[in-house]
C-alpha cells in the first residue's frame, strides 16, 4: 500500500488555455483537484500526500501570474487548513522562505499550527521549493551541527518526519520530475498521467493505487 504519494501538479495553464480561459483560472481549478485527491487518498488509507505546486524556478513566470498565485495561496491556505482540521488532517509547507511575502509566511505558519494535531493524513505542499536547494540547505544545517552523513542530511530535510515517497505521479503527460523531492524520491515508483491536473478526480487515486500494487519494488537489490 502507498504510504506517501507525491503529485507533480502540472497542466493548470494548459487546461485553462484549452478551455479558453486565462491561466489564473487553471490554478483556481487546480485547488478543487487537490481537495478531491486528498479526500480520496484519506479514504483508501494513504497517510501522506505531497503536491508540487510552485517551484523556485516558477518565479520566472509573468509578474501577473506569480502575483495571482501568491494572492491565491494567501487567501486560501487558512480556509483549507480549517477544512483539514475538520477531517483530522495535518498540513505542512516544504520550501524556502526567500522571496515569500511576510503576510503569506504568517498564513503558512498559522496553517501548520492549527493542523499540527491531525492524525489521519498529512498533506504537504512544495511551495517555493527546489529539490537541489533542499539538499543544499540540509547539508549546510548538518555541517553546522558537526556531522555530514546520509542520516544527518536526512534529519535536516524540510519536515524530516515525512517519509520517502512510494509513488510519484505527474499529470499533463510530461515525463520528468523537475527536481521534485530528489532525496525522498530516490527509490520511488513513477506514473505519468496524460490528463491535466485540474481534471484529476477521486477515481484517479484508485487507479494510482492499483498501478502501484502491480509494481515490484526491489530498492536496488
Which residue in 10, 12, 128, 204 is the catalytic one? 10
The residue to which cell 513566470 is assigned: 61
| CA angle, 191 then 197 then 199, to 5° | 110
β-pair type (89-94, 4-8): unpaired
Phi and psi at residue 46, to the nearest 5°: -70, 130
Domain ranges, ordered by start, for the chain = 4-198
Q: What contacts 24+ positions apart, CB below 8 Å, involve 80-87? A: 80/31, 80/35, 80/111, 81/110, 81/111, 81/114, 81/115, 82/114, 83/35, 84/115, 84/118, 84/123, 85/114, 85/115, 85/118, 87/39, 87/42, 87/118, 87/120, 87/121
SS3 129: strand
Q: What is the pLDDT of residue 218?
A: 86
Which residue in 39, 58, 137, 164 is the catalytic one? 58
Q: Is 10 a catalytic residue?
A: yes
| pLDDT averaged over every residue in the chain | 96
β partners of residue 55: 129
Q: What is the pLDDT of residue 164?
A: 98
C-alpha 167/C-alpha 9 separation (Å) is 14
Q: What is the pLDDT of residue 220?
A: 79
SS3 178: coil
pLDDT band at residue 221 using 50, 70 and 90 as cut-offs: confident
pLDDT digits (tens, 9 = 90+) for 166-210: 999 999 999 999 999 999 999 999 999 999 999 999 999 999 999
Q: Over range 106-115, report the average pLDDT.
A: 98
Q: Is 58 a catalytic residue?
A: yes
Above 80 in pLDDT, residue 37?
Answer: yes
β-pair type (48-55, 121-129): parallel
For 4-198, which CATH class?
Answer: alpha beta
Q: Over range 121-132, report the average pLDDT.
A: 98
C-alpha 204/C-alpha 188 separation (Å) is 19
User: Exposure string (b/e) for 116-133, b if CB count within 10 Å is 16 or more?
Assistant: eebeebbbbbbbbbbbeb
Q: What is the pLDDT of residue 192?
A: 98
Amino acid at each position: 500500500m502507498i504510504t506517501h504519494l507525491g503529485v507533480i501538479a502540472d497542466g493548470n495553464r494548459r487546461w485553462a488555455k484549452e478551455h479558453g480561459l486565462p491561466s489564473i483560472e487553471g490554478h483556481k481549478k487546480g485547488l478543487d483537484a487537490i481537495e478531491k485527491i486528498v479526500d480520496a487518498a484519506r479514504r483508501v488509507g494513504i497517510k501522506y500526500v505531497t503536491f508540487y505546486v510552485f517551484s523556485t524556478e516558477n518565479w520566472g513566470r509573468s509578474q501577473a501570474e506569480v502575483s495571482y498565485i501568491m494572492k491565491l495561496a494567501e487567501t486560501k491556505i487558512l480556509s483549507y487548513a480549517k477544512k483539514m482540521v475538520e477531517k483530522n488532517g495535518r498540513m505542512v509547507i516544504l520550501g524556502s522562505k526567500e522571496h515569500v511575502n511576510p503576510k503569506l509566511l504568517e498564513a503558512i505558519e498559522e496553517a501548520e499550527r492549527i493542523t499540527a494535531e491531525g492524525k489521519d493524513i498529512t498533506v504537504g505542499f512544495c511551495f517555493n521549493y527546489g529539490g537541489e536547494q533542499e539538499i543544499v540547505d540540509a547539508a549546510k544545517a548538518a555541517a553546522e551541527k558537526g556531522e555530514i552523513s546520509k542520516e544527518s542530511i536526512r534529519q535536516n530535510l524540510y519536515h524530516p518526519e515525512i517519509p520517502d515517497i512510494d509513488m510519484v505521479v505527474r499529470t499533463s503527460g510530461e515525463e520528468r520530475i523537475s527536481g521534485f523531492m530528489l532525496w525522498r524520491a530516490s527509490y520511488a515508483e513513477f506514473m505519468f498521467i496524460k490528463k491535466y491536473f485540474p481534471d484529476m478526480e477521486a477515481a484517479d487515486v484508485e487507479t494510482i493505487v492499483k498501478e502501484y500494487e502491480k509494481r515490484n519494488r526491489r530498492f536496488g537489490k
